[in-house]
Amino acid sequence: MINVEVNGLKYEADGGEMLLTLLRRIGINVPTVCNIDGLPPTGSCRMCVVEVEGQRNLVPSCAFPVFEGMKVNTNSHRAVDARKAIVELLLANHPEDCFYCERNGSCQLQELSESLGVRSRRYVGQKNEHPVDLSGASIVRDPAKCILCGKCVRVCEEIQGVSCIDFIGRGSHATVGTAFGEGLNISSCVNCGQCVTICPTGALIGQSHVDRVLNAIEDPELHVVVQHAPSVSISIGDDFGIPVGDDLMGVMHAAMRRLGFDAVFDTSFSADLTIMEEATELVHRVKTGGVLPMFTSCSPGWIKFVETFYPEFIPNLSSCKSPQQMLGAVIKTFYAERAGIDPHKVFSVSVMPCTAKKFEAGRPEMGRDGYSDVDAVLTTRELAQLIRMHGIDLRSLQPEPADTPFGVRSTAGKIFGASGGVMEAALRSAYYFLTGTELKAVRVEAVRGLNGIKEAHIDINGLNVGVAVANGLGNAKKLLEMIKSGEKTDLHFIEVMTCPGGCVGGGGQPYGTNRDRVLTRIQSLYSIDANESLRVSHKNPEILQLYKDYLGEPNGEKSHHLLHTYYHERETLI
């Protein structure tokens, strides 16, 4: 430990730690734009500059290590004036359409302008002109709003391992873009949206389906149904000042009905359906010598990652559709038949924590007879936008159940929203399918938590089943390389979530999602699992009834036709 003086007060610090780390720990807020928790600092934005005695120039606190006897002034006139000048220079080249920007009210550039008292324009010049890229299925790029902080580039490369965007050009002509300046639609982008959640301005936003949904609700010819993913109910409250992790499922159902949806379903139901199909597929592969390890297929960003970068592993992917697409398929077939509605008149909406779900819903494999399984996908943020637009007060609503069928779920389906949740749910049912008895310890601690790669071995009737869980595509990439090199040969089943932490940290979640919020949401899901009695998918009564009345048996002819799909290698510019 070393002694440091900050703003006239003495503190102890860890030798070698960065000054910004110390400042945050002692409760001193110094703004930063380029810094990303968990990644090495770049010090490029200079927003976190402070004065250090003995240093001629201001130093970036994120990239300046503490030393014995250091004396720091974090908010000297010189430091504050420097930060203010940086903001003013950024604004000089920034569009003036704040009223129309999706990030209005949640824009870091706005917040910095407010906190630093920027009230007039000191710098005037010609703004750079950049076209908006609307080609992506899930993400819109507006380079004119980019402040070149580099966060999106670093997340895409260092956390996700995709590297579909980078800095292009030099000096005042520098931009962030794709290879050869082409559209996102033909780049290696996997639509995960992590760049959207970390972008401090409106330079990266999600493709909106709000108008599409509103138009459908207003159309008297359409029967509009909605499903919601497991993690949405414990994250949407963030946008309304409700404590992080509070489960608003019943309240959300009530709000959805007031928005005009004709039926409200829970995607956790089809998560149970996914487990029935996926666990059966895994058991079949194990028993018949099929391709192993088998990879989960619930996360569409992960699927596109494999199709793009590791096509040799396509046979390892489970052929199961994701829960979103399974429920979409069953809604347009079984539900439509039972309700006597033409499937073409059913408009199916999903609410997801994931921007890549928009891409997935548009895949040509996801539909039949000229219609798609899912017609529109709203992110958690977009649902919150609709609720605010209609003046609905979540705190005043009484909880309501989901509609039946597709309204009953096990907690195994609910924990799908957390990294390791799919694996744990699958193990609970795979154990039963292989042994005929229930797994005594349904809580599989080894696959829980935020470690990038988690492994476990489960003894099932003498078979040592090796499983692994990866969250974040950068970690998935490491695991795939270990399998390719022969370092990992004892794995049978692997779960991969595209986003760090799983769906709870998805690219469509409320702005401001960080590691602490992700952890709280995960704890909320596991609390739900611990406090309810129906904890395995294969005992969900509505799932069993669906197989009896319509699907037949897991991995049977009809269920395979409706609930399974295929994947293919993709070509990109690089």
Asked if 106 and 12 sit in the same domain, the reply is no
DSSP string, 366-387: SEETTEES-SEEEEHHHHHHHH
Per residue in 488-547, pLDDT tens? 999 999 999 999 999 999 999 999 999 999 999 999 999 999 999 999 999 999 999 999
Q: Residue 126's pLDDT is what?
A: 85
Per-residue pLDDT band for 172 (boundaries 50, 70, 90) equals confident
574 has pLDDT over 70? no
Q: Give DSSP secondary structure letters for 175-226.
A: EEE-GGG--GGGSS-----HHHHH-SSSSEEEPP-HHHHHHHHH-TT-EEEE
**Would you please indicate which residues are annotated as catalytic (active-site) residues?**
278, 281, 298, 318, 357, 360, 365, 503
Which is nearest to 493 in space by CA: 514, 465, 520, 515? 465
CATH of the domain at 185: 3.30.70.20
Q: How far apart are CA 239 and CA 195, in angstroms?
A: 19
Q: What angle do CA 216, 214, 137 make, to 5 degrees?
A: 85
> Of all helices (H) and strands (E), which one includes residue 139?
strand 139-141
Among the three residues 206, 221, 240, which one is the final residue of a domain in this structure? 206
> Is residue 387 scored above 70 in pLDDT?
yes
**Strands, sheet with 223-228, edge to edge from the N-terminal-most edge strand:** 263-266, 223-228, 346-352, 376-379
Whether the pLDDT of residue 214 is over 60: the answer is yes
Please tell me whether residues 10 and 127 are part of one structural domain: no
- For residues 555 and 553, what is the distance between their CA atoms, to the nearest angstrom? 6
pLDDT of residue 128: 86
Rounded average pLDDT over 126-132: 89
Mean pLDDT (whole number) for 28-42: 95
What's the number of CA atoms in the CB half-sphere (13 Å) around residue 153? 17
Euclidean distance between CA atoms 31 and 49, whole angstroms: 9
Q: Let me know whether 438 and 475 are in one domain.
A: yes
Can you give the CATH number for the domain in which 494 is found? 3.40.50.1780
Q: Are strands 294-295 and 493-497 parallel, antiparallel or unpaired?
A: parallel
Whole domain around residue 333: which residue ranges? Answer: 211-563
Count of the separate structural domains present in the chain: 3
Q: What mean pLDDT value characterizes the chain?
A: 96
Say yes or no: 374 and 510 in one domain: yes
**53 and 171 assigned to the same domain:** no
One domain for residues 200 and 222: no
CA distance 113 to 85: 10
Whether the pLDDT of residue 87 is over 90: the answer is yes
Residues 96 and 232 placed together within one structural domain of the fold: no
- How far is 349 from 227, CA to CA, in rounded Å? 6
Instruction: Express each pLDDT in 444-476 by its tens digit.
Output: 999 999 999 999 999 998 889 999 999 999 999
Clarify whether residues 197 and 271 are in a common domain. no
Picking from 182, 206, 230, the residue at the C-terminal end of a domain is: 206
In this prediction, residue 573 carries a pLDDT of 58
- Helix (H), strand (E) at residue 432: helix 421-435
Domain with residue 55: its CATH number is 3.10.20.740
* pLDDT category of residue 127 using cuts at 50, 70 and 90: confident
Per-residue pLDDT of 337-355, as tens digits, reads: 999 999 999 999 999 999 9
Q: Is the pLDDT of residue 129 over 90?
A: no
Residue 138 lies in a domain: yes
Looking at residue 398, its pLDDT comes to: 97
| Structure-token pair, residue 413 | 């389906």
- pLDDT band with cut points at 50, 70 and 90 for residue 151: very high
Do 379 and 288 belong to one domain? yes
Q: Is the pLDDT of residue 572 over 80?
A: no
Q: Which two tokens stand for residue 128?
A: 């750079």
Query: Is residue 333 over pLDDT 80?
Result: yes
Q: 206, 231, 257 — which closes off a domain?
A: 206
pLDDT at 267: 98
CA distance 32 to 63: 11
State the Cα–Cα distance between residues 506 and 300, nearest whole angstrom: 12
What span, in angstroms and rounded, lies between the C-alpha atoms of 517 and 37? 14
Mean pLDDT for 248-269 is 98
236 close to 245: Cβ distance less than 8 angstroms: no
